[in-house]
Amino acid sequence: MEQGELLLSVHRRGLGFLSGLLLLLCIIISSSSITRVSGSIHDYRNEAFIPKSNAFFFHGGSEGLYASKVHDPAGKTIKGKSFIRFEDVTFVRTKESASKKNEMQQSTGLVEAIILDVKDRKRIGGGFLKTNVICCNRTLADSGSCNLGEVIIHKNPDNPDWPKRIKTSFAGNHEEAKMETEEVEISSNGMYYLYFMFCDPDLKGTLIKGRTVWKNPDGYLPGKMTPLMTFFGIMSLAYLILGLLWFLRFVQFWKDIIQLHYHITAVIALGMCEMAVWYFEFANFNSTGTRPMGITLWAVTFTTVKKTLSRLLLLVVSMGYGVVRPTLGGITSKVLLLGLVYFIASEALELGEHLGNINDFSKKTKLFLVLPVVFLDSCFILWIFSSLSKTLEKLQMRRNIAKLELYRKFTNSLAVSVLLSIAWIGFELYFNATDPLSELWQVAWIIPAFWTLLAYFLLVVICVLWAPSRNPTRYAYSDETGDDFDEEGVSLTSGGLKATVDIGTKLERKALVEDLEEDKRE
């Protein structure tokens, strides 16, 4: 018994140390962050153009934008207006290129900013003229199809102003050309792409700097993320309701509370904080167009801590902690180590996704950060189901029908969640493969929302199955043998009851001895 208490003490201290470490990390990174992170404001920092066909281009950004609620013919920034604004966008050519030009010439190099809805992408270039070139050449210019030295654009007959073209020219032998500050109003829903392009080979080596601001009618939140703000608000309310119900049950049966109930309470509290912080982070992003690093780090860290503790909760419940075994024994350190490694990997992925421009997260970088998380999630799943199998086997050996039924329900719920996860991953892969240009941006929010709902579902299942009650022995660990036959004894005859109990007692003692030996080995 003393050894079990010692192991339990070590386990509690280990969890306390990990929680303290995570809290300290949160405080340090949030208190030291004083910069702001770009979101719908796309910054260009002396970046180069890429050659393609007979043109050079730079991808200036892409976002889903809703149409303006109020049309403003005067071009002023008003509430309800959706737009893309160019601020301090400057093109810098090489000294060699500038030296070739005459300082008296008014235009010595043309750079075009082209805005298009993704559905009009085939209107850029000479596809409609049955040629693969992007820039107008002498032959096409002589035929009157386009202007020499400009990007070929086939205007949309339903909307003659689109795709939108904004021209900026270098003057004389100047090395820099600055765009006029301009707002382009968005009049229809769509996934909009911005490209900066030039056709003059002499401009090779030109760099771009400055920024563009993208705004939706109700704020700066990108179109893909707009529904998520409402979703996080609803989930905050859902966690609040679950927390209130759990708290009332917790207070009502506080004398019968076991250690596992405190773990469940911590996960519920973290879930409430996570949803609330994300909602306020999105609301702030929507109103300012930027993401303060402090708030974003808090939101990301709450998410990571909750994900880590949720997986640890599923693991220790599957191991039978507090139900089949009083402690985790020698595997406590392994569980904590897996949790710590998962926290670090998941934190890196979340930071990479949420810090920086919305559409500028490199696919290679994302893959590098996703793979460790996927591998660790697989480790959790394998360990959870392996532990569940052992726990069910022990309960069958002890003939404890009440606890066995409880764990069967938990196993079925977990199996359903895994099947749903696999099906959703398949759907997500199909969704991304069939929509490479984000044309379905208005429904893309359901992909991250699903995982939040699934985590909430599993937490509700655990809360229902392990809810505090006046009879905690139905799921709490007990070293007495009598409680293992409370349901079976009803259906047995008086003659066979004593023999069955004797056999059950021997099996119970054998199982307890095996548990102790297993803890020592682990």
Q: What local confidence, expressed as pLDDT, does residue 198 receive? A: 94
Phi, psi dihedral angles at 104 (to 5 degrees): -90, -10
CA distance 259 to 486: 23
Q: Are 246 and 463 in contact (CB under 8 A)?
A: yes
Single-letter amino acid, residue 387: S
Phi, psi dihedral angles at 213 (to 5 degrees): -115, 125
Phi, psi dihedral angles at 216 (to 5 degrees): -90, 170
Question: Is beta strand 110-117 parallel, antiparallel or unpaired with respect to 164-169?
Answer: antiparallel
Angle of CA points 181, 184, 185, to nearest 5°: 140
Q: What local confidence, expressed as pLDDT, does residue 215 receive? A: 92
- Structure-block tokens of residue 83: 């737009």
- Structure-block tokens of residue 87: 């601020």
Report which of 454, 449, 37 is spatially closest to residue 224, judged by C-alpha positions: 449
Q: What local confidence, expressed as pLDDT, does residue 234 receive? A: 96
Radius of gyration of the chain (CA): 31
- Strand locations in 66-205 (E): 83-92, 110-117, 164-169, 176-178, 182-185, 190-198
Q: What local confidence, expressed as pLDDT, does residue 151 receive? A: 92
Q: What local confidence, expressed as pLDDT, does residue 237 receive? A: 96
Q: Which residue's structure tokens are 């066995």?
A: 404
The helix (H) or strand (E) run that includes residue 411 is helix 401-434
CA distance 179 to 196: 11
Please state, in angstroms and as integers, the Cα–Cα distance from residue 465 to each residue in 176, 408, 474, 487, following that order.
68, 11, 10, 18
Mean pLDDT, 10 residues at a time, the chain of 522 residues: 41 42 38 40 90 91 88 66 93 91 84 93 82 88 86 86 92 90 91 94 93 91 90 95 93 82 90 92 86 81 90 86 65 87 90 63 64 89 89 82 83 89 90 86 92 92 86 53 38 39 48 50 49
Q: Model pTM? A: 0.74
- Strand locations in 170-287 (E): 176-178, 182-185, 190-198, 207-215
Report which of 429, 413, 342 is spatially closest to residue 377, judged by C-alpha positions: 342
Query: 60 Cβ partners below 8 Å, 6+ apart?
Result: 42, 44, 113, 194, 195, 196, 212
Q: What local confidence, expressed as pLDDT, does residue 268 receive? A: 94
**In the chain, pLDDT over 90 holds for what percent of residues?**
32
- pLDDT tens, residue by residue, 169-223: 998 889 999 999 889 999 899 999 999 999 989 899 999 999 999 999 988 988 8
Whether omega before 163 lies within 30 degrees of 0, making that bond cis, reads yes
